[in-house]
Amino acid sequence: MNSKLILMPQISLTHLFSSFVFAEYKEEVTITEHVRKITELKTKKVVFSFDSLIDQSFPYLFSMFKALQMENADEYIFCFFPETPEDVNLVNQKFILYAKEELFDIDKIKIEFLRNPRISPVNNI
């Protein structure tokens, strides 16, 4: 990676001009089992990708993910900023395939598309 890792509790102007922003947060989740309520702390890792979406960008994204040791989480959220409707199709068709190759638990992955007003509305999956 050619970029310097900056760890901060909030986003800064530096992050706003990055191709990738990596984040982590913990969420308290309450589960009811019979009459007992159990509270668990779930770790979620989030990647915001503003990079051009091409086939080669997915292996690069996963290599950065691993280099930053972000693999240990209860949920992975990948947020992409599509510039064209074709970008949405590419993510939907290829991203999960790359995730499987990288041995990610597919059930833990959530893909979201950030709204781009220059293209038609995009539904999150």
For residue 22, which of 92, 56, 69, 90 has the smallest C-alpha distance? 69
Domain boundaries, the chain: 17-113
- Tell me the pLDDT band of 65, cut-offs 50, 70 and 90: confident
Residue 77 has pLDDT above 80, yes or no: yes
- Tell me the pLDDT band of 79, cut-offs 50, 70 and 90: very high
pTM of the model: 0.78
Residue 125 has pLDDT above 90, yes or no: no
- Tell me the pLDDT band of 9, cut-offs 50, 70 and 90: low
